Amino acid sequence: MEAALEAGCVEEVFARPGADDLLPDLADGVRLTWVDDRALGSLSESVSPGGVVALCRYVDVPLAEALAGARLVAICADVRDPGNAGTVIRCADAAGADAVVLAGSSVDAYNAKTVRASAGSLFHLPVSVERSAEAAVRAAKDAGLTVLAADGAGETRLYDAPAGPTAWLFGNEAWGLPADLADLADHRVAIPIHGRAESLNLSTAAALCLYESARRRGA
């Protein structure tokens, strides 16, 4: 909630009398409404909600705005698990990315589990929603980004991937990237597997890719 308040995204806060100690400082213009437990329960998907719920405005931005001047971007194509999407947003933030694009049939950015897994990062960097994954990839290229598809069968090793302004393209947790979408990327990049694991899960793979870009920048 602190991250949402700092970002100026909170429109109204609902709190239970007695939850004053949980109540953050509210800026001017943020309405505060006292409610009982039952009302609080109906405002939250949580089984045992805390004493405070914030109503936030949507934070996603148009694709062109998210990509303008960006040097590191994560594009999620058909990422369906809300925890994975939120974790990618959190990793992208930590790696210093400029934006995240939830593309194709990816999970809703406002799914409660996505918001929670993002640990505030949903409010830290621009997130864009684009129904066509192809359009997201083309827009990233048009914005001067080299598109690198994370692909276990990729022809380029992670540590040999080109540096410079980069958009990482991540596919669905179960079936990866469709071939035509992977082909649209500038390179298909594989994380080396040293042991006998067949692959990495989506959010750990995304962390390795995004941080490799950050490391290359000498950051």
* Candidate residues 64, 112, 153, 219; the one interacting with a second copy per rule CB under 8 A: 219
Residues between 28 and 67 with contacts to a second copy, criterion CB under 8 A: none
160 phi and psi angles, rounded to 5 deg: -105, 0
* Candidate residues 60, 78, 93, 186; the one interacting with a second copy per rule CB under 8 A: 93
* Candidate residues 44, 173, 187, 211; the one interacting with a second copy per rule CB under 8 A: 211
* Candidate residues 80, 135, 208, 216; the one interacting with a second copy per rule CB under 8 A: 208
Alpha-carbon distance 92 to 169, whole Å? 12
* Candidate residues 85, 133, 137, 207; the one interacting with a second copy per rule CB under 8 A: 207
Tell me how far, at minimum, the Cβ of 2 lies from a second copy, in Å: 10
Record the tokens describing residue 102, joined without a space.
């939830």
49 phi and psi angles, rounded to 5 deg: -65, 150
Nearer to a second copy, 89 or 184 (CB): 89
Residues between 161 and 200 with contacts to a second copy, criterion CB under 8 A: 191-200
What is the pattern of x (binds a second copy, CB under 8 A) and - over residues 104-143? -------------x-xxx--xx------------------
Q: Does residue 27 touch a second copy according to CB under 8 A?
A: no
Nearer to a second copy, 33 or 199 (CB): 199
Nearer to a second copy, 137 or 209 (CB): 209
Binding residues vs a second copy (CB under 8 A): 87, 90-97, 117, 119-121, 124-125, 159, 191-201, 203-208, 211, 214-215, 219
